[in-house]
């Protein structure tokens, strides 16, 4: 029996049949949620860094960041 999990913005399960998951240990479920949150944060950081890299010099100057600083941020690993 396969079940698709759907998570809301607060990372709580919004499944209609979430009772089946009540047998899982709370610590395990909490760990999975924290891991998912970290992955989403890493993806968001990566997208922001790429967007920063793609800004033109005029916009970088408006936000007070040099081209060198923007490029330095863009090459950082996703988990940093």
If one counts the domains in the chain, the total is: 1
Taking the C-alpha atoms of residue 25 and residue 13, their distance in angstroms, rounded to an integer, is: 15
Q: What is the pLDDT, as a whole number, of residue 19?
A: 58
Asked whether residue 61 is domain-assigned, the answer is yes
Q: Are the C-beta atoms of 6 and 14 separated by less than 8 Å? A: yes
- Provide the 8-state DSSP code for 76: S
- Please tell me the distance from the alpha carbon of residue 41 to that of residue 10, in angstroms, as a whole number: 13
Range of the domain at 26: 18-74
Residue 5 lies in a domain: no
Residue 7 within a domain: no
Cα 34 to its chain centre, rounded Å, is 11
For residue 47, being part of any structural domain is answered with yes
Q: Is residue 2 part of a domain?
A: no
Residue 73: pLDDT band by 50, 70, 90 thresholds? confident
pTM of the model: 0.55
* Per-residue confidence (pLDDT) for residue 1, from 0 to 100: 44
Examine residue 80 and state whether it is found in any structural domain, yes or no: no
CA–CA dist 80, 77 (Å, integer): 6
Q: Which two tokens stand for residue 26?
A: 């709370």
Residue 1 belongs to a domain: no
79 within some domain? no
Q: Residue 22 is encoded by which pair of tokens?
A: 């009540």
pLDDT in tens, 22-72: 677 888 888 999 999 999 999 999 898 889 888 999 999 999 999 999 999
């Amino acid at each position: 029996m396969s079940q698709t999990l759907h998570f809301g913005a607060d990372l709580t399960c919004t499944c209609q049949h979430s009772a089946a998951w009540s047998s899982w240990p709370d610590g395990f479920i909490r760990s999975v949620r924290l891991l998912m949150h970290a992955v989403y944060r890493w993806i968001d950081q990566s997208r922001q860094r790429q967007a920063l890299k793609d800004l033109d010099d005029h916009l970088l100057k408006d936000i007070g960041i040099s081209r060198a600083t923007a490029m330095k941020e863009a090459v950082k690993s996703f988990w940093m």
